[in-house]
Amino acid sequence: MKKYVKGNVNWVGYIDWELKWFHGEDYSIKNGSSQNAYLIEEEKTVLIDTVWLPHRFEFVENLEKEIDLHKIDFIVANHGECDHSGSLVALMEKIPGTPIYCTANAVKSIEGQYGKQNWNFHVVKTGDSVDIGNGKQLVFVEMRMLHWPDSMATYLTGDNILFSNDAFGQHYAVEELFNDKADPCLLNKEAMKYFVNILNPFTPILIKKLEEIGKLNLPIEMIAPSHGAIWRENPMQIVNKYAEWAAAYQENQVTVVYDTMWEGTAKLAHAIAAELHKQSPETVVKVFNLAKADKNEIMTEIFKSRAIAVGSPTVSNSYLSSVAGWLEFLKQLKFKNKKAAAFGCYGWSGESVKLLQEKLREAGFTVVEENVRSQWNPAEADFTAIPALAMALLA
């Protein structure tokens, strides 16, 4: 069922309350999500994006209930990833030859995924526009690497809506569609989680793009992303948040993460957390077991932190596999302006702390020399090393 957005624009997407994972099982979904598609009915009728492959038949069926598909003058494919292009094959079987406006890279990604179908692609780049009648135009803005090379945003003049695709989105189901109807805490939490886990590696590009969009002087009355709530009330709040988050963001928080074999490293983790709180009661301190907590949620906490402590016991001359996988993810996200320390227990060789320090440096953290290495179980002498580690992280 379509839902009214603004002017002659309606939402025709899919709200997925049951989704638990995204990008395979790489992104956890806690509060549902949506794939937002939009139908513009001016003198020209335009469909902006579609929905994910599993929902393609329902999407086309619903669209047919709202409009004669042959009335669609063209489709805008802002992004080729299958959560937005996944219904194209089913749709184009019904209306072959309908023009698809997208970037040159989107042609590559769409044809790469669905094969060469001889679709009627119209390649556009930043600043290109198309008249849709009633004095309104669609203006295209390439959003290269935000977050794919093919990503694009589309701006509707007159109604002043920016269809931003993935940028400014959240994996958050909002039946009422709009940010002013959503739970503000959840909205902010999910918007930040999305930024951290999907966009943070591209912050240098994002900063330039936000400047570029600013210079276009487009009045923005609404930001309609391809996931989650539409920013209707104070839409620029999310643009301002992105600018803040992209500038090596941190709060007064220190996060301790670890995994443990026989609870020794766990004891150190909690002792470090207690010492951090003792030395700086105003600092928020959080502790996560990497093997048990949600990795995407942990990354959001790391993003908010000014420093982290990472612990693992030594196993087979290295660290635990849970920590190894997490460190690789940490490196991918390219966090900036954060300190780190390492700690861990060992029985025999004891390499984990040194290796953790190396990996944290590779991930872009400023690693403090203070560390805690504890043979067998943490003893009094090990705990006496913790105040110096905490002080170095808080300095």
Please report, as ranges, the residues that interact with ligand FEO according to CB under 6 A. Answer: 79, 81, 83-84, 147-148, 166, 226-227
Packing angle, helices 352-362 and 321-332, rounded to 10: 20
Tell me the closest approach of the beta carbon of residue 225 to ligand FEO, in angstroms.
9
Return the residue matching tokens 């609870």: 263
DSSP H helical ranges for 216-283: 236-246, 264-279
Q: Which is nearer to ligand FEO, 167 or 368 (CB)?
A: 167
Please indicate whether residue 259 is annotated as part of the active site: no
- The pair phi, psi for residue 58, each rounded to 5°, is -65, -40
Tell me the closest approach of the beta carbon of residue 81 to ligand FEO, in angstroms.
4
The sign of the dihedral angle between the CA atoms of 38, 44, 45, 47 is negative
Contact 297, 194 (CB under 8 A): no
Q: Which is nearer to ligand FEO, 52 or 258 (CB)?
A: 52
Tell me the closest approach of the beta carbon of residue 229 to ligand FEO, in angstroms.
15
Q: What b/e sequence results for 113-148 when a residue is b if at least 16 CB atoms lie within 10 Å of its CB, and e otherwise?
A: ebeeeebebeebebeeebebeeebebbbbbbbbbbb
Catalytic residue among 16, 41, 83, 382: 83
> Rounded to an integer, what distance in angstroms lies between the CA atom of residue 126 and that of residue 41?
23
Q: Which is nearer to ligand FEO, 15 or 257 (CB)?
A: 15
DSSP H helical ranges for 149-202: 184-194
Cα–Cα–Cα angle for 24, 28, 31, rounded to 5 degrees: 125
Catalytic residue among 14, 41, 142, 147: 147
Please indicate whether residue 194 is annotated as part of the active site: yes
Indicate the DSSP class of residue 142. E
Catalytic residue among 14, 27, 194, 319: 194
Q: Which is nearer to ligand FEO, 147 or 286 (CB)?
A: 147
Please indicate whether residue 227 is annotated as part of the active site: yes
Please indicate whether residue 16 is annotated as part of the active site: no
Tell me the closest approach of the beta carbon of residue 260 to ligand FEO, in angstroms.
36
Q: Which is nearer to ligand FEO, 10 or 164 (CB)?
A: 164
Tell me the closest approach of the beta carbon of residue 211 to ligand FEO, in angstroms.
22
Q: How many CB atoms lie within 10 A of CB 204?
A: 12
Catalytic residue among 4, 23, 70, 93: 23
Catalytic residue among 14, 27, 42, 79: 79
Q: Which is nearer to ligand FEO, 148 or 195 (CB)?
A: 148
The residue sitting closest to ligand FEO, measured at its beta carbon, is 81
Tell me the closest approach of the beta carbon of residue 197 to ligand FEO, in angstroms.
12
Cα–Cα–Cα angle for 29, 18, 223, rounded to 5 degrees: 60
Please indicate whether residue 79 is annotated as part of the active site: yes
Contact 48, 77 (CB under 8 A): no
Catalytic residue among 81, 142, 190, 259: 81
Please indicate whether residue 27 is annotated as part of the active site: no
Packing angle, helices 321-332 and 295-304, rounded to 10: 50
The catalytic residue positions are: 23, 79, 81, 83, 147, 166, 194, 227
